[in-house]
Amino acid sequence: QVQVVESGGGLVQPGGSLRLSCVASGRISSINDMGWYRQAPGKQRELVATITPGGGTNYDDSVKGRFTISRDNAKNTVYLQMNSLKPEDTAVYYCKASIQTHTWSTLYDYWGQGTQVTVSS
């Protein structure tokens, strides 16, 4: 079994910062791309940022220059540093990891349970 667990959400004022963490654990042979997605009330889940095992990154235009994704491959962990937060960043943030559980198995996307980020004064 594989578990993906996020942490670090909370309430922050506009202009503030938060750092999200996501750890993958369990039966893991390798991890490919990892990423952060978010879902605001009444909206569809959307991509925030992704990162390859080699550190290549991709960001949604709405967070470029404010958010930074990074990963520690030795710890099976991905981070999202969020600066200059805006009320429109309020959402549940989900982590996704593309994981191979055995050397002979295909990649499968595992999702965390989500962590709430609320930006409000």
- What pLDDT score does 104 carry? 86
- What pLDDT score does 110 carry? 98
CB 20 within 8 A of CB 36: yes
Is residue 105 very low, low, confident or very high in pLDDT (cuts 50, 70, 90)? confident
**Taking 90 as the threshold, does the pLDDT of residue 103 lie above it?**
no
Cα 73 to Cα 81: distance, rounded to the nearest angstrom: 17
- What pLDDT score does 63 carry? 98
- What pLDDT score does 12 carry? 98
Instruction: Compute CA 66 distance to the chain's CA centroid, rounded to the nearest angstrom.
Output: 15
